[in-house]
Amino acid sequence: MRFVSTRESSLAVSLSEALTAGLAPDGGLYLPQQWPTALPDLPASAPLPELAAALLAPFFDEDPLAGQLASICTEALALPAPVVPTRDPGLYLLELFHGPTAAFKDFAARFLAACFARLRRPDDAELTILVATSGDTGGAVAAAFHRRPGFRVVVLYPDGKVSPRQAHQLGAFGDNVHTYRVAGTFDDCQAMVKAAFADEALRAAMPLSSANSISLGRLLPQMSYYAAASLRWQIVHGRPANFVIPTGNLGNALACVLARRLGLPIGDVVLATNANRVLPDLLHTGEYRPKPSIATLANAMDVGVPSNLERLRALYPDIADLRAQVSADSVSDDELRAVMQTSEARYGHVVCPHTAAAIRVVERRRDAGCERPWIAVATAHPAKFDSVVEPCVGHPVPVPPALAEILQRPSQAQPMASTADALKAALHALR
Ligand SMILES: *Cc1c(COP(=O)(O)O)cnc(C)c1O
């Protein structure tokens, strides 16, 4: 399969080229040039790596990585992704937080790292992966590349704007992972990374790549857990699965839309946002107005300019078509708190603030008379956000073993001013 930019569609590249480049040369995002016309035969009850290899085979067709797809999936995607019932028969949770850093970003970061490791040639210079993170991506990417020969990770996070445990995790890797706490916002961190990529002299001195949520290498593997969940749902319930997905940069939800486009039995896809309501406003008014991000309790979704929207709009340029694909609802901090306070008694699950946004959106639909069951996507483990969750639930939240192991390590992040020059100086100092 070949891939083209959302902007200039004349230049088609291979999957490997699209993975390596991250962004297309014209600044657009890569999408398949042609969509597979039929769904491959999928082993619905096989483990996720096997199902993912079958699902992604058409996208790897004719690429140098094609022969290694099965081993990439085995290495990266052997993580549990169960759909679990709750005490309410109308609400299920798709738990995506059983990986090493306790958030769904592990699936995609590990997949991207497995691809990059196989694309590397022995005499290649060390590759620096630059990541700006609103909290979870940086940890997942650091874990996926930690101690991988030939790679170095540089993580930038907004100081004071991630949860204390996220901050600890981000600084706890060491070795080939370098973590900086930036005196600024997530948008500042993203702008610094962009400026580094635009700096030809820097890139000539130091090969750079990125692992942010616009990478095809993150989008593709995320389709696999929606495929697994929806196929099994169809077998048990005899109808398509409806998902509500906590949304920031729109990477996770877009993967669900793409899985449905491939023919998987997925019904409604609803985006749950926090007070950063650019997407609900777009669907409501038809106008796209990016805004500076607002800090909320669901900090991994504090995004004012959702980067994957460009892909969704390229696929569905007409607003009526877009509305037929997705709907979106914004949830306030007060509502997030209320869900976190009540979810244990009502559903039998303690949830993170992002998952709480999805649950609140389900509750609204049910209050409005909807009787269909919904799957809310649980994007992170509540223990990762203990400082927000524990005051709501009134007791400590047990920490999963992989997260506990990371939290035991010492943690260290260097301070950094929020300027392109500060990042450049730090990168030169690493050489
Ligand atoms: C990143 C993240 C989100 C938002 O996902 P997008 O793909 O950016 O829309 C939601 N919840 C958690 C816990 C996250 O880490």
Domains and CATH numbers, the chain: 76-104+217-398 (3.40.50.1100)
* Ligand 1 centre distance from Cα of residue 381 (Å): 12
pLDDT in tens, 100-113: 999 999 999 999 99
136 lines ligand 1 (CB under 6 A): yes
300 lines ligand 1 (CB under 6 A): yes
Residue 249 alpha carbon, nearest atom of ligand 1: 8
Average pLDDT over residues 344-372: 97
Residue 134 alpha carbon, nearest atom of ligand 1: 1
Q: What is the pTM of this model?
A: 0.96
pLDDT in tens, 260-291: 999 999 999 999 999 999 999 999 999 999 99
Sheet (strand 266-273) strand order: 83-85, 91-95, 374-378, 241-246, 266-273, 327-330
* Ligand 1 centre distance from Cα of residue 121 (Å): 32
In this prediction, residue 61 has a pLDDT band, given cuts at 50, 70 and 90, of very high
* Ligand 1 centre distance from Cα of residue 122 (Å): 34
* Ligand 1 centre distance from Cα of residue 382 (Å): 14
Alpha-carbon separation of residue 86 from 13, 158, 212, 236 (angstroms)? 44, 35, 33, 16
Residue 402 pLDDT > 90, yes or no?
yes
Residue 251 alpha carbon, nearest atom of ligand 1: 7
User: Strand locations in 277-408, DSSP E?
Assistant: 327-330, 374-378
246 lines ligand 1 (CB under 6 A): yes
The protein residue whose alpha carbon is closest to atom 14 in ligand 1 is 300
CA–CA gap between residue 402 and residue 414 (Å, rounded): 24
What is the residue type of 429? A
* Ligand 1 centre distance from Cα of residue 137 (Å): 8
Residue 10 pLDDT > 90, yes or no?
no
